[in-house]
Amino acid sequence: MKTKSVFLAIIVVAFACTEKQSEKKQSEIKVPITVAKSVEKEFSSTLDFSGTAYANKEANLGTAIPGRVEKVHFAEGKRVNKGELLVELSSELFMQALIERNTLQKDFERVSRLREKGSLSEQDFDHIKARYEASVAKTEMLKKNSEIRAPFSGTIVDYIVNEGENYLFAPSLKIGYSMTSGIVKLMQLDQLLVEIDVNEKDLSKLKIGQKATLVFDAYSDKSYEGTIAKIDPILSTITRTAKASIQIRNTDYLIKPGMYAHVEIALPKQKAVFVLAQSIYRQPGTANDFVFVISENVAKKVAVKRLYTIDENIAVDGIEKDLIIAVAGKNKLSEGAQVSIKQE
Note whether 95 and 108 are same-domain residues: yes
Residue 301: give its domain's CATH number. Answer: 2.40.420.20
Per-residue DSSP letters for 263-284?
A: EEEEPPPEEEEEEEGGG-EEPT
Residue 1 lies in a domain: no
Contacts (Cβ under 8 Å, ≥6 apart) of 222: 215, 216
Query: 105-115 in b/e burial notation, b at 16+ Cβ within 10 A?
Result: eeebeebeeeb
Contacts (Cβ under 8 Å, ≥6 apart) of 77: 155, 156, 157
Residue 292 lies in a domain: yes
* Residue range(s) defining the domain that contains residue 100: 91-145
pLDDT in tens, the chain (344 residues): 445 554 444 444 444 454 444 444 445 688 898 999 999 998 888 899 999 999 999 998 988 777 788 889 999 999 999 999 998 887 766 667 677 788 878 878 888 888 887 777 888 788 888 888 887 887 777 677 778 899 999 999 999 888 888 777 656 656 566 666 788 999 999 999 999 999 999 999 999 999 999 999 999 999 999 999 999 999 999 999 999 999 999 999 999 999 999 999 988 888 899 999 999 988 888 889 999 999 999 999 999 999 888 889 999 999 999 999 999 988 898 899 999 887 65
Residue 281 lies in a domain: yes
Note whether 255 and 198 are same-domain residues: yes
pLDDT confidence of residue 89: 81
Q: How many structural domains are present in the chain?
A: 3
By DSSP bridging, strand 31-37 and strand 339-343 are parallel
Tell if the pTM clears 0.85, that is, is over it.
no
